[in-house]
Chains A and B, each alone.
Chain A
């Protein structure tokens, strides 16, 4: 990662790497939170949660209190996360059936769900489940965004072709309308307040102008300092 940002090419911008985005999100998790993690960058978040912050991880298939991979030879075929990977249980874990698991989700009993995204709109609409032409599958994404009070998105600020993922209106099929509350990218952190995006933080070394150049959605700025 020795290349320097240039002002002549619009992409790719250089900000945080994926682990650094995960670490940035982890900083905002509060002691006592119950959290559901989607695939992608969100799965890296637990590694960066400080030891004195107790966070209960929930998996859609009915586990409250997920622990890490149990280590080779200790995998239990009856104990997996929502990605079907072997996991362990934290002390005080609980296991429920799928209806109860989604009662936890839909009923608003989680504090935060951290998900990846294809696009987020200026109003907080989320598209993250389906690219038309590919194989459609939704899992628990629509339940998670419908029920969880805080929906935090972790994603690259632009796609592989440099196209902004923070857009005026989502062009991919929606997972939910007006559901996103925060967006963490390699370049910046946005909050969604009163139905609009607010830029609250730029990544170290990233200017507000760089963020502006790589963002299609309209937003307001409220940067500290």
Chain B
């Protein structure tokens, strides 16, 4: 019988080696797999290369990995967190800046077996001409992101972008069943199904575990064929509420209601 539910998250996530490439879903805090990111920290994983749209606005999730010095490189479109840039300019983390749509398509392509593709996004800019600093040393650019191969199609310049195959993918879903079928909710979907496609080993944390066939086959966003391990995002998921946030909202952010307030 196929059963991808895991009680022992740490035992399974410990298979991720130091130095691994990690594709992460989420758009800021929306759909960010905090339980999985916390587990990476708790397991002491380091030298990680993350593919993720944002670091975020606080020291949770990806921000925690940054603060604990666990990142070797970040591939992202919009890091946000000022402390990330401090680490970048200080030469402690490498930064590959990519257009947001390119990051999404690189994940999709990698998961779909497409080694590379041409896109017009970023053509003729410093993100494709070899100018952007991958790393700093002594306050100056030390290495640069390699120039991207350029080719004209229909009279317009396009750049060649590589698909991403990550060692591991971390995904936040809304509901999942034991076969690993996942459904996302609202705009918390964002990068999650794409990250889930491109991981050689894909972990999904969900807010609610459901019996098989509760999710209609037509309504599954990420089928279990892409998924290896499913865990609950936190201990206390109210059984009755279906729009509940089990990961506590940042208390400083008054725009996000707590689970209590939403009942």
- Is the pair A142, B191 in contact by a Cβ cutoff of 8 Å? no
- Is the pair A99, B257 in contact by a Cβ cutoff of 8 Å? no
CB distance from B176 to the nearest CB of A (A): 15
- Is the pair B189, A95 in contact by a Cβ cutoff of 8 Å? yes
Residues of chain B within 8 A (CB-CB) of A135 are: 79, 82, 85
Residues of chain B within 8 A (CB-CB) of A86 are: 255-256
A79 within 8 Å of B by Cβ? yes
Interface size on A, residues (CB 8 A): 41
Interface residues of A in 134-155 (CB under 8 A from B): 135-143, 146-147
- Is the pair A62, B125 in contact by a Cβ cutoff of 8 Å? no
Given A63-B187, A75-B255, A146-B119, A140:B100 Cβ within 8 A:
yes
- Is the pair A137, B80 in contact by a Cβ cutoff of 8 Å? yes
Task: Spot the interface stretch: A17-25, A170-178, A180-188, A209-217.
Answer: A170-178
- Is the pair A146, B123 in contact by a Cβ cutoff of 8 Å? yes
- Is the pair B77, A75 in contact by a Cβ cutoff of 8 Å? no
CB distance from A141 to the nearest CB of B (A): 8
Task: Spot the interface stretch: A4-12, A101-109, A193-201.
Answer: A101-109
Task: Spot the interface stretch: B8-16, B28-36, B61-69, B223-231.
Answer: B28-36
Q: How far is the CA of A84 from the CA of B99 in the complex (A)?
A: 18
Q: Of the candidates B78, B194, B261, which one forms a contact with A97 in the assembled complex, judged by CB atoms under 8 Å apart? A: B194
Q: How far is the CA of A20 from the CA of B172 in the complex (A)?
A: 42
A52 within 8 Å of B by Cβ? no
Residues of chain B within 8 A (CB-CB) of A78 are: 30-31, 174, 185-188, 243, 245
Q: How far is the CA of A79 from the CA of B57 in the complex (A)?
A: 17
- Is the pair A98, B221 in contact by a Cβ cutoff of 8 Å? no
Which residue of chain A lies nearest to B185 when distances are taken between CB atoms in the complex? A78
Task: Spot the interface stretch: B38-46, B101-109, B212-220.
Answer: B101-109
Interface string of A12-53 (1 = CB under 8 A from B): 000000000000000000000000000000000000000000
Residues of chain A within 8 A (CB-CB) of B130 are: none
CB distance from A136 to the nearest CB of B (A): 6
Q: How far is the CA of A1 from the CA of B31 in the complex (A)?
A: 45
Residues of chain A within 8 A (CB-CB) of B103 are: 98
Interface residues of A in 75-117 (CB under 8 A from B): 75-80, 84-86, 95-99, 101-102, 105-106
A61 within 8 Å of B by Cβ? yes
Q: How far is the CA of A207 from the CA of B14 in the complex (A)?
A: 69
CB distance from B28 to the nearest CB of A (A): 4
Interface size class of B (residues with CB under 8 A): 35 or more
Q: Of the candidates B79, B95, B186, B256, which one forms a contact with A95 in the assembled complex, judged by CB atoms under 8 Å apart? A: B186
Which residue of chain A lies nearest to B30 when distances are taken between CB atoms in the complex? A80
Residues of chain A within 8 A (CB-CB) of B255 are: 75, 85-86
Say what secondary structure dominates the interface of chain B: loop
Residues of chain B within 8 A (CB-CB) of A146 are: 119-123
Q: Of the candidates B85, B99, B105, B249, which one forms a contact with A99 in the assembled complex, judged by CB atoms under 8 Å apart? A: B105
A60 within 8 Å of B by Cβ? yes
- Is the pair A84, B127 in contact by a Cβ cutoff of 8 Å? no
Residues of chain B within 8 A (CB-CB) of A96 are: 189
- Is the pair A102, B27 in contact by a Cβ cutoff of 8 Å? no
Residues of chain B within 8 A (CB-CB) of A174 are: 124-126
A225 within 8 Å of B by Cβ? no
- Is the pair A140, B126 in contact by a Cβ cutoff of 8 Å? no
- Is the pair B99, A142 in contact by a Cβ cutoff of 8 Å? yes
A59 within 8 Å of B by Cβ? yes
Residues of chain A within 8 A (CB-CB) of B256 are: 75, 77, 86
Q: How far is the CA of A62 from the CA of B221 in the complex (A)?
A: 14
Given A99-B107, A173-B125, A143:B186 Cβ within 8 A:
no
- Is the pair A173, B126 in contact by a Cβ cutoff of 8 Å? yes
- Is the pair B28, A98 in contact by a Cβ cutoff of 8 Å? no
Interface residues of B in 207-260 (CB under 8 A from A): 221, 243, 245, 249, 255-257
Residues of chain B within 8 A (CB-CB) of A79 are: 186-188
Given A98-B27, A176-B124, A73:B257 Cβ within 8 A:
yes
Which residue of chain A lies nearest to B106 when distances are taken between CB atoms in the complex? A99
What are 11 pairs between A and B in contact, CB < 8 Å?
A: A78-B185, A95-B187, A97-B192, A97-B193, A97-B221, A99-B107, A140-B99, A142-B121, A143-B101, A173-B125, A174-B126
Q: Which residues of A contact B (CB under 8 A)?
A: 59-63, 73, 75-80, 84-86, 95-99, 101-102, 105-106, 130, 135-143, 146-147, 173-177
